[in-house]
Amino acid sequence: MDITPTEVYKLFLEDPESFKTSAASPEDCLQAFRSASRRAASILCITVSAKLSMMYNAACDARELARTELPDTTIEVMDSYSATPSEGMVALAAARAAADGKEMAEVTRTAEEIRDKVGAIVFLDTIRHVYRSGRIPKIASQIGSMLNIKPLLTVSKVVNFAGMARNRKQGIERMLQMMRDRVGDSPVHVSVTHAYALDEAEKLKERVASEFNCVEMWLSEFSPVMGYACGTGTVGVAFYPEG
């Protein structure tokens, strides 16, 4: 709460092996629900994929605790099936529906519609830290790092290995082609994201803006929790087609 992602990545680079993460507790979630209940009668909590974190379970536990403490507040917990800015896109769609005065059921349906359409592709500068995702053994990460293998990952409920590249140029080309295969010429909502690689992300944003029919676009930085498994130098795109 009192340090930026960039500052965290600087600490990460100093000693990556001592960098640790932990999920929020039910009490942390309950405190968030208490705060939100002062401003709203209904709460939709959208979490990172339950396949990637204990956050969804913690939020569900907090919802049960809140039934007694906050009896006049309706709380729903939704698994985004995602992470990175694609999770944020689900939350943003829900927030926009709520700001338009939609009822809770319609806000939830809106979030579910975007959840079913959104995609995320991530290109890692190193495979060294990917074992932390639980997708490959640590020894495989170490060997891949020595061979300078740079993986492409997708996020859909879990982190999926989608291919590899020998260099950044090749990796970004493949990432954009994968995105193009998904959305074609359709108008698209896009977020370009990075982990301590702002210059590269800004270049990628310019390419996406010139090569795709973008309805809206953001530039964001990976949360350090994602950087924990991806490492610095990571860039990615999250997106969904309009309509």
pLDDT tens column, 172-208: 999 999 999 999 999 999 999 998 899 999 999 999 9
Q: Domains in the chain and their CATH numbers?
A: 26-116 (3.40.50.10440), 119-241 (3.30.1180.10)
Higher pLDDT: 162 or 214? It is: 214
Coil/strand/helix, residue 42: strand
Instruction: Match 């020998």 to its residue by tokens.
Output: 166
DSSP 8-state secondary structure symbol assigned to residue 17: G
Nearest to 220 by CA among 119, 120, 85, 114: 85
pLDDT given for residue 52 in this prediction: 85
Amino acid at 165: A
pTM equals: 0.87
pLDDT in tens, 43-85: 999 999 999 889 999 999 999 999 999 999 999 999 999 988 9
Nearest to 123 by CA among 164, 184, 65: 164
Sheet holding 214-221, edge to edge: 158-165, 150-156, 119-123, 235-241, 188-194, 214-221
